[in-house]
Amino acid sequence: MNEATFSGGDTEVPQERIDELDAELRAMPSLEATVDEYRQMGDSITEQITRIAPTVVWTPDPQHGDNLNTCSGDWLPTAGRQIQLRRWTSAAPIPDAAWGQALEVARAAAAEKGITVETTNRDRPGDHSVAFTNAAGAKVNLGSKVAAVLSVRTPCRLPEHGDSSAPPES
């Protein structure tokens, strides 16, 4: 947690600070609009990677649908929510010869959304995993080993109608 926002481990966050953070969230696009925007980003990444590597055919992962989460970090005590979008998967991995281009597609798409902190989890022949994150909690993760996977998480946003109990309809 950011100690500039929270004054210590067990200290309660003052209501004034929560109100400030909620006001910041109200000035941003709604969770529903953000979900649509981030789903389009994921679709664009997968389409571009398939153009680079035609054996990589993406489908929504039926076992991992959209998942509503509370926000983390500074945004934890707010009414904001994040959505871990359903995953895009391909039974065929991204070939090593195309990995660099595929990674650049994901990097550029993430950067357009301000998701610029890059973490390489694995980068060896036939086994790649890179995550892009930002302070608002957004994340883009691209991996390839036996198969390929792309996952996207929205930043913290307020639900349009105040109902934060279920993910927005896709």
pLDDT digits (tens, 9 = 90+) for 40-88: 999 999 999 999 999 999 999 888 889 999 998 888 888 999 999 999 9
User: What residue spans define the domains of the chain?
Assistant: 31-153
pLDDT given for residue 7 in this prediction: 39
Closest CA to 110 of 151, 60, 144, 59: 151
Chain segment 101-132, per-residue pLDDT in tens: 999 999 999 999 999 999 999 999 999 999 99
Average of per-residue pLDDT across 17-38 = 93
For residue 164, pLDDT beyond 60: no
How many angstroms separate the CA atoms of 1 and 72, rounded? 8
Higher pLDDT, 14 or 46: 46
Alpha-helical (H) ranges within the chain are 15-26, 31-52, 96-112
pLDDT given for residue 73 in this prediction: 83
What is the pLDDT confidence band of residue 2, given thresholds at 50, 70 and 90?
very low
Within 8 A by CB and 6+ apart from 8, the residues are none
Instruction: Read off the amino acid at residue 100.
Output: G
| Token pair listed for 9 | 């481990």
Q: What is the pTM of this model?
A: 0.85
Mean pLDDT computed over every residue of the chain: 89
What is the pLDDT confidence band of residue 162, given thresholds at 50, 70 and 90?
low
Q: Which CATH architecture fits 31-153?
A: 2-Layer Sandwich (3.30)
Instruction: Rounding to the nearest 10 degrees, give the CA dihedral for residues 45, 47, 48, 52.
Output: 130
| Residues 18 and 79: beta-carbon distance below 8 Å | no
